[in-house]
Amino acid sequence: MKTLIIYATKTGTTAKCAEMLSKLIADSELYNLANGEPDISGYDNIALGGPIRMGALHPAVKRFAEKHTVELIEKNAGYFICSCVTENTEQTMAQNFPAILLENAVCKASFGGEMDPSRQKGADKLVIKLAARSFMKDPSKKPSILPKEIERFASAMLEDHLYDGFEPDD
């Protein structure tokens, strides 16, 4: 079964997560929405995701999901976000993906996120620097990519069983 992992990225974290996912799913291909829109007709599985900024999904991912809702419902599809805030994943996804896609999804998850001021610009850089100060006090709370969530998502995609990733157990 062929899998297409479609994503958009702003600072590279989502691309990194998509690559990690691709390594776990044989016969998968990556597609960055910065290159336009892919033809998904030849794929059995679709994973679609992008970064969350201030509660909003990357516009290219949101547009793709809305434009291709009917096609995506017919696929074995999963949806992911990359966000430093993982506590409200279910709510964040509900605000950013069409409800019918989430209802029919085989998996949904947050892959976590990273805060790297060197990859930011303008006001984002300032906000990240301020947030990073709080992590200097307690490094265990520093946002990071969640490889186990990516592994669980990949497993659900391959085995066609529901994984909602809304309450990580580690």
Domain containing residue 35: CATH number: 3.40.50.360
Q: Is the pLDDT of residue 131 over 60?
A: no
- The whole-number pLDDT of residue 170 equals 46
Residue with tokens 């709080």: 134
- The whole-number pLDDT of residue 128 equals 54
- The whole-number pLDDT of residue 95 equals 96
Cβ-contact 43, 50 below 8 angstroms: no
Averaged pLDDT for residues 23-29: 95
User: What is the number of structural domains in the chain?
Assistant: 1
For residue 26, the enclosing domain spans 3-115+144-159
Q: Is the pLDDT of residue 11 over 80?
A: yes
Burial class (CB in 10 A: 0-12, 13-18, 19+), 85: middle
Is residue 164 situated within a structural domain? no
Q: What is the pTM of this model?
A: 0.84
Token digits of residue 25: 């799913």
Is residue 35 situated within a structural domain? yes
Is residue 170 situated within a structural domain? no
Amino acid (1-letter code) at residue 164: D
